[in-house]
Amino acid sequence: MTAMPANLSGLDLRAEIERLRKERNAVILAHYYQRPELQDIADFVGDSLELSRKAAETDADVIAFCGVKFMAETAKILSPEKIVVLPDMEAGCSLEDSCPPEKFAAFRAAHPDHIALTYINCSTEVKALSDIIVTSSSAETILQQIPADQKIIFGPDRHLGGYLSRKFGREMLLWPGVCIVHEAFSETELLKLKAQHPTAPIAAHPECPPHIVDHADYVGSTSGILNYAKTVEADTLIVATEPHIIHQMQLAIPNKTFIGAPGADGNCNCNICPYMALNTMEKLYIALRDLEPRVEIDEQLRLDAKRSLDRMLDMASGTVGKGDLGSR
Instruction: List the beta bridge partners of residue 94.
Output: none
CB of 133 to ligand SF4, least distance (A): 14
Closer to ligand SF4 by Cβ: residue 49 or 232: 49
CB of 125 to ligand SF4, least distance (A): 17
239 touches 225 (CB < 8 A) = yes
Q: Is 276 in the site for ligand SF4 (CB under 6 A)?
A: yes
Binding residue for ligand SF4, selected from 83, 139, 273, 286, defined by CB under 6 A: 273
Closer to ligand SF4 by Cβ: residue 141 or 221: 221
Binding residue for ligand SF4, selected from 2, 94, 137, 280, defined by CB under 6 A: 94
Q: Is 181 in the site for ligand SF4 (CB under 6 A)?
A: yes
Identify the DSSP state of 157: B
By rule CB under 6 A, what count of residues binds ligand SF4? Answer: 13
**Of 52-60, 77-85, 173-181, 316-324, which part binds ligand SF4 (CB under 6 A)?**
173-181
Radius of gyration over alpha carbons of the chain, in Å? 19
Q: Is 242 in the site for ligand SF4 (CB under 6 A)?
A: yes
Closer to ligand SF4 by Cβ: residue 181 or 226: 181
Closer to ligand SF4 by Cβ: residue 84 or 95: 95
* Number of C-beta neighbours around residue 5 at 10 A: 10
CB of 92 to ligand SF4, least distance (A): 8
CB of 169 to ligand SF4, least distance (A): 26
DSSP conformation letters of 245-281: GHHHHHHH-TTSEEEEPPBTTSS--TTS-TTGGG--H
Q: Is 179 in the site for ligand SF4 (CB under 6 A)?
A: yes
Binding residue for ligand SF4, selected from 180, 259, 270, 301, defined by CB under 6 A: 180
Phi, psi of 44 (to 5 degrees): -150, 135
Q: What share of the chain is helix, strand, coil (3-state, %, to 5)?
A: 45, 15, 40
DSSP conformation letters of 15-58: HHHHHHHHHTTEEEEEETTS-HHHHHH-SEEE-HHHHHHHHHH-
CB of 1 to ligand SF4, least distance (A): 16
User: x/- site string to ligand SF4, residues 64 to 93, per CB under 6 A?
Assistant: ----x------------------------x
Q: Is 170 helix (H, G, I), strand (E, B) or coil?
A: coil
Q: Is 121 in the site for ligand SF4 (CB under 6 A)?
A: yes
Phi, psi of 248 (to 5 degrees): -70, -35
Closer to ligand SF4 by Cβ: residue 108 or 244: 244
Closer to ligand SF4 by Cβ: residue 21 or 156: 156
What are the CA-CA distances from residue 224 to residues 34, 38, 106, 206, 248 (Å)? 17, 21, 34, 11, 13
CB of 287 to ligand SF4, least distance (A): 18
Distance of alpha carbon 31 from alpha carbon 10, whole angstroms: 28
Closer to ligand SF4 by Cβ: residue 58 or 135: 135
Residue 219 CB partners (closer than 8 Å, separation 6+)? 163, 203, 204, 205, 206, 213, 325, 326, 327, 328
Q: Where in 182-241 is the site for ligand SF4 (CB under 6 A)?
A: none
Binding site for ligand SF4 (CB under 6 A): 33, 68, 93-95, 121, 179-181, 242, 273, 275-276
